Structure 1
């Protein structure tokens, strides 16, 4: 899959080379093929991008709502017309399976469609006043310029939710995708909006190495909001810098999601859900099933059923339609996952199913007899490793689920919906699903976490709130009496 603009930045409506002395080779994580080579951005390019966004913001804010909506409709049409091309790009650039890539492109289009409703919501409402003769007006306004930083695992949809939400509410954007997936997480989105006729400067793309620019993208005085999706450690650092400069932040960070299996659950259904939620995209999803917590009364039959299903999963070339587990994003990640397995085994975990490593592909592992203090239970595993924790009862399941610094997503399976809901309500997490696995995203629903999983929410009216502010204007229609 070749993209004409895959080796350029996009600043103020112009595709251009970066001004860094550094070149970056974007490679296929499965076979190492070089997809593109780009001259990176430096701090001067970041200045240009933010200045272009600032200059364009006022005119874009004042653009007619119908015109904004029309641009979004054209961007949707562009994405739909390139659907298969973008799927193939995700397979090549991020190692996505064909199934995962189709899910991601579909979700990105749904996100665009949801955001297209935002311009009509940028309205002014009138409220009563306690002062005689006064009218209160509250206006919904854009924040200004938004800086967006996105990761490599779901590059298209994670960038789209911030870019589309910000632009639809009258903001302008500078987007910085991860180097490893900057085409899907950057170039594709820019091309869609460019084809739709988005005015120059409203969306800008910089591709930069953090080793060169440091914190400059976040520290820059122009952006009023930094939207970051990535690791908890990086998010804390970015949040500290942004708040020190009184910038607003949206932080969607890591997860260590609990998948609770109560003793009355349908084992066959649960095992299928767990296999999908754990191994989709090789487990490289913040929403992935990370800790499978099973009541000991059904622990052994669950392990047996789950193992049988996982053994059917094909790992290998993501270009093949029946492949479910493709490559991890890079060798460093492979080594990190193997180290977590090794440490957990040394702590007493049992290898129920041993995977194989071929290049960057790890076929599924299953670890059993895991305890909450083991490495695989304490850390977010961005790899195809399932850890199964036995517990004595419902109360211990809740306790184990909550014994994490994270609180992003989760799942509870029970034969009783009332019981499942009761348990779900006790789990400290931003999202949780009863009788479904933890990887769920709907464009109109609030997406985000608690504790070390982040701040803020994406999706629907919740995303709309994040990208806007309110302004109170009072109008004294009759002279007000003062005591002097």
Structure 2
């Protein structure tokens, strides 16, 4: 892909030029990849109007047809897997091994969306259970909500688009999509596949530009019925305040934690913990950030984990051997380094990492962390993990819950009692037993509590959020 590629916004199935364009640079090499359109407010409103004007077409489209379009997108993506993975790697610096894994998941996500499109249904209500209901029958149906504004992040630029566009189209809605500024190419790639798959023009519109222009226009528009957003808690909270009575699904930040009980074979857990902490440079909402290890095996765990972390291969994201590459921006690198320095100044110890190699942050393991250090209490979104010693599972559960976030958490244990205790007492959206909290498959309900957001994604669950229930009552007389 050449640096002179020009990408326009995508409205009504057409490329639309804008007045201004911005340089899209590779986070790894800083080389120019493309010129990306910067939409203004009027163009964004135009995209919303087009989506609004197309909503009857989608609402009337039979389920089998919506399913067939989504199935076709899944097939086309499978045929273009290598190219799609390269696009992700190039614009986000996600190492190729993880970019390929993302494309494989995205193929599945559209496949699940296609299947769920065929099973959107309501229920019958026993009206005669009420004295006044005798002689009446009733049932619910689920109708599409209308125009969905989708705002997606950089860290899974293809699969997190699929988690919004897939269920929206399955449910018979239309979409205005604002992808993250650093990763628009993945979104345009998918829009092109939808066009080839036969999606009517105007149903999916892709508008690039700054959040305060494009994002605000979407959130404030009366023609948009729902906003689905994945990103930081601060932006999500501000977005919800502006959204009025619109429905919102917010997938926000986290500082995911894992408890390691005393009866665990440490060696068996290490590889999963490495993946959980360092895949995609730790830029995952459920990236493993805090590990609470029982004191009996703490030293063994720390030495094995730190040694393995220090051996991960750093480098060019397009090299199939690379495990860790650059963070998404130099600002994020500076922020991560300053948080490491702050932790050191407050008495934390670096077991491994903490330095940069070129513009790559080494996988970093921090010990002696207190829960008020930024590396522990904020979302670090970098290849940094802190390990704390605990004397019991109860102590670990309290430490995990002492957070303003609650997306997912995990526990490794051979004790059924401790596993059930974690499942009951961890205040999070998902508890993973005998694996890392970074586990996700795309059909499961996914979302958090506290500042980790509202609503659930996962195709069936997202479709429930993206439809409105209507009750129909018949009088038999």
TM-score by length of 2: 0.96
* 1:148 counterpart = 2:146: no
> What do you get for the CA RMSD once the two structures are aligned?
1.7
Tell me what 2:368 maps to: 369
1:415 CA drift (Å): 2.5
Shift of 1:236: 0.5
How far apart, in 2, do the equivalents of 1:284 and 1:6 lie?
A: 27
CA deviations on 1:28-74 (whole Å, 9 max, x unpaired) are 11101111102311111111111111111111111122221211121
1:7 is matched with 7
Shift of 1:424: 3.1
The CA deviation string for residues 250-269 of structure 1, in whole angstroms up to 9 with x for no partner, is: 00000111111111111112
Q: Report runs of 4+ in structure 1 exceeding 6 Å deviation.
A: none
3-state SS, counterpart of residue 289 of structure 2: strand
- Superposed, 1:64-463 pairs within 5 Å as 64-123=62-121, 125-130=123-128, 131-184=133-186, 186-213=187-214, 215-242=216-243, 245-463=244-462
Report how far residue 6 of structure 1 moved.
5.4
- Matches of 1:371 and 1:378 in 2, distance apart? 9
Does residue 48 of the first structure (1) align with residue 53 of the second (2)?
no
Please say if residues 370 and 390 of structure 1, whose CA atoms lie closer than 8 Å, have aligned partners that are also in contact.
no
3-state DSSP class of the match of 1:118? helix
Alignment partners' CA distance in 2, 1:144 and 1:259: 40
Mark the runs of 5 or more structure 1 residues left unpaired by the alignment: 479-484
Maintained 8 Å contact 1:28/1:95: yes
| TM-score, normalization by structure 1 | 0.94
User: How far apart are 1:473 and its partner, in Å?
Assistant: 1.6
Q: CA deviation at 1:340?
A: 0.5
Question: Which consecutive residues of structure 2, in runs of 5 or more, have no partner in the other structure?
Answer: none
Separation of aligned partners in 2, 1:3 and 1:68: 36
Q: SS of the residue aligned with 1:415? A: coil
> How far apart in 1 are the matches of 2:392 and 2:117?
49
Q: For residues 394 and 70 of structure 2, what CA distance do their matches in structure 1 show? A: 48
Question: Given the superposition, is the C-alpha separation of residues 5 and 318 from structure 1 closer, same or farther in structure 2, using an over 3 Å criterion?
Answer: closer
Question: CA shift at 1:4, angstroms?
Answer: 11
Flag the 1:281–1:387 CA change in 2: closer, same or farther, 3 A: same
- Count of aligned positions: 473
Alpha-carbon separation, structure 2, partners of 1:51 and 1:433? 43
CA–CA distance in 2 between the matches of 1:187 and 1:214? 17
Aligned pair in 2 of structure 1 residues 204, 5: CA closer, same or farther (>3 Å)? farther
SS in 1 for 2:430: coil
Match of 2:471 in 1: 472
Q: Aligned-pair distance for 1:468?
A: 0.9
Q: 418-427 or 260-269, which moves further after superposition?
A: 418-427
Q: Is the 8 A contact 2:261 2:413 kept in 1?
A: yes
